[in-house]
Amino acid sequence: MLSQAMFPWLLLTAAFLFTLGALGVLIRRNPLVVFMCIELMLNAVNLALVGYSSYLNSEEGQVFAFMVIVVAAAEVVVGLGLLTRVFSIGRELDVDDLDEMKQ
């Protein structure tokens, strides 16, 4: 059971991790790191979910977090598969290279 005083800090941490992940997406050019940042965001969500779950004494958050982990895994599988195809060996890993289509 999460204490009332502690909860805002937990939520703050979750928000911090989340926005930090977003910041990473904005500034990092390596697609793998970008992807990791997105994973960080998902983890932040998990933290928030579990924190709420504990705070509310409701198990739904934990179930939800479980689903999130599964989805994250699926996304990673597909995403990394795609990234290895696109940034095949030897090519520079840079999301800014992907700008053939624009305007």
- Among 24, 61, 56, 58, residue whose Cα is nearest residue 46: 61
Give the interface size with another protein as a residue count (CB under 8 A). Answer: 98
One character per residue 39-78, x = contact with another protein (rule: CB under 8 A): xxxxxxxxxxxxxxxxxxxxxxxxxxxxxxxxxxxxxxxx
Cα(32)–Cα(93) distance, integer angstroms: 8
Taking the complex as a whole, the smallest distance from the CB of residue 90 to another protein amounts, in Å, to 9
For the bound state, the minimum distance from the C-beta of residue 10 to another protein, rounded and expressed in Å, comes to 6
> C-beta of 89: minimal distance to another protein in Å?
6
Angstrom distance (rounded) from CA 78 to CA 81: 5
